Amino acid sequence: EDERRKMEKAKIIRVNEVQDVDIPINIVKREMPELLATIQKHTLSQLTTPVLFLASRYRGYMKGLTFGELSDISLTFRTIEPDSFRKRASIVYNNLVDPSVDAIDSFESFMHNTAYLDIDMGVFGLACSTFPDKDEVSMVCRTKNCETTFEKSFLMRSLLRLDKFGDMAKVAMREIMGAKTKEQCTETFNNSPVRRYKRIVLPVSKMTVDLGIISAFDYAGTVLPLMAEEERKSKEDPNYKPNTDIITTILLLIVRAIYVPVEEDSHDVIKVDSSKEMLSILYELPLEDISILARYQEVIIDAYTAEFAYTDIKCPKCGTVTTEVAADINSVVFQKYQTLGSSRVEFNETLFL
């Protein structure tokens, strides 16, 4: 309901017509790829937004979205289908310029070397470059006997809550910003939790586990298909019982490999890094071991997860101040797309008479 009310507010665009004159033109033939490159050169905004891909340990700049890209990315965030995530990631990659490391030189390398949760940081950069001006969002005061609807002004770049990042992400921030040379940037990049793992031994099962953060490639190829399959089965059959607990599936976000001892007190181990096989092992682990992994997952993922919010909101009627209202950056972009779709253009119609 709140979202519907936000969408009802149409933006009015007024067009200023130029004097009606004959404009001399010289028609030149171009093949479509060259034509599209020419269009992009003339139409795309030169504004870029610096972005730190914290878990991936590199930085870059994000360009603004075309209308087609805005439409595509807006239609991907409400689904957990792998193809939708890949589409969103590809739009981020296609608008990423001047990454601090040479390894990000193709979409495949971007997916393999970028943490899945850094894709939202890319979307944030896209939003800042596409919508750099002051904007408004509809708010409803939740104070009893008030419930006033009002407009809150904000800047897109102000939505990111830097203070909400955990200590690990803040260290990463300093390392990325402190890397000045190519060698320093590469060293920082190679030490990311996507590329370098922490190894622990579980106290009860004695299994060794590599912990890190799953890449966007593995997220789209392993975790999302499992979640999408479970979602489809649940929709098809209300009585369906998942084969695996959601906790064990989520643990695949940080568990990169499991080493199973061949025999007790033996140094010989079997390495397991297939998602389905790891999932089966995780499901069989004792509670104490799962609790330890769940705590690692909470600390690591929460530390690097970007949070967005509208801040310092004051009701114009009763004066109630709300410190912050959480915002999902993908929803914000979708709402901007919806607002553009409901915009009304005003111009002098006599121009065409």
Q: For residue 144, what pLDDT is reported?
A: 84
Tens-place pLDDT, residues 144-173: 888 899 999 999 999 999 999 999 999 999
**What does each C-alpha distance from 314 to 23, 231, 336 come to in angstroms?**
51, 40, 22
Which parts of the chain have pLDDT scores under 70? 1-46, 241-246, 341-353
pLDDT of residue 10: 43
Per residue in 168-211, pLDDT (tens digit) is 999 999 999 999 999 999 999 999 999 999 999 999 999 999 99
CA–CA separation, 75 and 131 (whole Å) = 18
The helix (H) or strand (E) run that includes residue 295 is: helix 287-304
Residue 229: the pLDDT is 79
- Looking at residue 237, its pLDDT comes to 79
For 134, residues 6+ apart whose C-beta sits below 8 A from its C-beta are: 153, 154, 155
pLDDT at 227: 81
For helices 167-178 and 287-304, what crossing angle results, to 10°? 40
